[in-house]
Chain A
Amino acid sequence: MQPSTTYLPNPFAPVGYGVNDASPESYIDRPFTYLYDVVLTANEQLTGQAVAIDTDSDFLWRAVLIATADGLFTVRFADASNYYLSSSQISSAALSTFGGQPFPVVPEVLYPAGGKITLDITDVSADDNTIEIAFIGAKRFRYR
């Protein structure tokens, strides 16, 4: 058996730049991002919005990023059983807009294949608001 190489995390490197595979036995995780696009009119409120999870695999939601937005909005997410993950809607200003440092979702939230990510979203910019939210994580495939 050949030895494996190990290297310590480089203190100059970003978090996540060289991390071990965390897939459980018999599973393999592949990076994947679900995007939610919406255009809100001034002060518009939408509830029960859904992002469909592909039927090929479960999805592990590990971070959220506001990929684009014209102005501030508030949002509340729910897990696969439609249980809200915050007591009320939270401001988009509290979430990351930097792709290198997305806002972590800890612990990760699992959405089963064919399920959906549900969210309520409200414009607070008092103007038209084109928004894209990135749900960053991994698809988990079973391979035996």
Chain B
Amino acid sequence: MGSLATMPNQLRGMERSPLPECYRTPAGFIDQHYIYAFNTDRFADGGTYTNLSIPIIDGYDLIVRRVKGLPSVVDISQKTGKWQMKSAGSVYLSNLPMAVGFNATEVLNEWLVIPEITYPHSSQIQFDLHNTLRDTNPGGGPTIYRAQVAFCGVRRRQGIPPVAGYNYFLRPYIYNQTVTITTAQQASAGVFNPYQSVFTQIADFDFELWAIQVDQPDNTSPSCAIVLYDAAHVALSNIPIIVTYLIEPSPWGVVLADTDASIGALNPPLVYPQQSEIQIDVYSLLQAGQLPATLTFRFIGAQRKPC
């Protein structure tokens, strides 16, 4: 058995090393931020659904590090609203289904998967939901579901790590992008309006995207779902991700209020070369009476300034 020095408690956050350890991928592999999500729009409320699955079909392995969105898919007012997750080998990762609602005001917004778990290409993420209840937009009009479970992490592929090809130092930088949603999700019941693509040009220097922060008119209620793209315009999720899922837990001792702007960290960061663009597709989750809605996306990161 290893010593304490070789077996750090990975869930602790109180004692941070002044020189934090780098994350190291297996030799010959590259990681990229990715999210697999699952919508339960078509599920009946009050049901139990077992062996739900999301196939990993994009040719990469998926490394899952956290799960978001559970309160949006089960009844959090009842202690029978539960979930249970399986490994790629269809082995449950807990001995029983776990409650999602702690009480009337606290819910399991976040579940960290530590140690991280790998779902190889062609496998599937499997999970069960007990006593389902879909979150909906309470505004009048056609029913808009906001029921989604998101499995967040990285996808891993074989390759040689990219190098910048020049020496640089990092300088903090933030791109602001304002987005105004002017259309409801549905023009009429079942007739969906198109999404809008938003592009943010990368000027001056190559840019490392570390986090995305979103201000909404009401930060407690998701106004849209988004798809983020990398510099090659490859989508980084299998379906649009509900925007409030970007919120992250903080280190120990710091708890974000629900009304704080959502901050979503990307680990590892995404690199956007100079003259490339950050693309997001924005899918409205609003009713006509809630329009227009203006959101501010902040792409937080660092410029690679040559030296």
Contact = CB atoms under 8 A, between A and B. Distances in A.
B13 A101 contact: yes
Given A6-B23, A33-B94, A35-B94, A13 B265 contact: yes
14 contacts: A2-B27, A9-B21, A10-B266, A14-B248, A16-B65, A18-B23, A19-B115, A24-B6, A62-B10, A100-B109, A100-B248, A106-B14, A134-B94, A134-B98
Nearest to A96: B252
A35 to B, nearest CB: 4
A14 B249 contact: yes
Interface of B: 1-2, 4, 6-14, 16, 20-31, 65-66, 79, 87, 93-99, 101-103, 106, 108-117, 154, 160-161, 210-211, 248-252, 255, 263, 265-269, 300
| A interface residue count range (under 10 / 10 to 19 / 20 to 34 / 35 or more) | 35 or more
B23 A37 contact: no
A10 B9 contact: no
A79 interface: no
Contacts of A63: 9, 11
B269 A31 contact: no
B109 A5 contact: no
A18 B96 CA distance: 26
A68 B16 CA distance: 29
A130 B106 CA distance: 15
Interface string A10-23: 11111111111111
A62 B97 CA distance: 19
A76 to B, nearest CB: 20
Interface string A127-140: 00010101010100
A108 B268 contact: no
Contacts of A107: 4, 9
Contact of B11 (A12, A16, A32, A35): A16
B58 to A, nearest CB: 19
A127 B208 CA distance: 53
Contacts of A32: 93-94
Contact of A98 (B94, B255, B269): B255
A120 interface: no
Nearest to B156: A5
A97 B108 CA distance: 8
Given A3-B161, A35-B95, A66-B102, A14 B22 contact: no
Contact of A12 (B109, B117, B210, B255): B210
Contacts of A104: 9, 11-14, 252
A69 B11 contact: no
A144 B267 CA distance: 32
A19 B87 CA distance: 19
Contacts of B111: 99-100
A94 interface: no
A136 B11 CA distance: 9
In this complex, the member of A5, A8, A62, A108 whose beta carbon has the largest number of chain B beta carbons within 10 angstroms is A5
Contacts of A31: 93, 113-117
Contact of A99 (B13, B16, B95, B110): B110
Contacts of B102: 66-69, 97
A66 B22 CA distance: 31
Contacts of B114: 16, 19, 31, 62, 136, 138
B249 A100 contact: yes
Interface string A50-84: 01001000001011001111100000000000000
B264 to A, nearest CB: 8
Nearest to B111: A99
B79 A5 contact: no
Nearest to A34: B95
A29 interface: yes
A24 B8 CA distance: 11
Nearest to B22: A6
A5 B31 contact: yes
B11 A15 contact: yes
Nearest to B67: A99
A134 B98 CA distance: 8
B21 to A, nearest CB: 6
Nearest to A130: B79
Given A6-B24, A105-B11, 7 more contacts: A2-B29, A4-B26, A4-B161, A7-B269, A12-B210, A16-B65, A19-B114
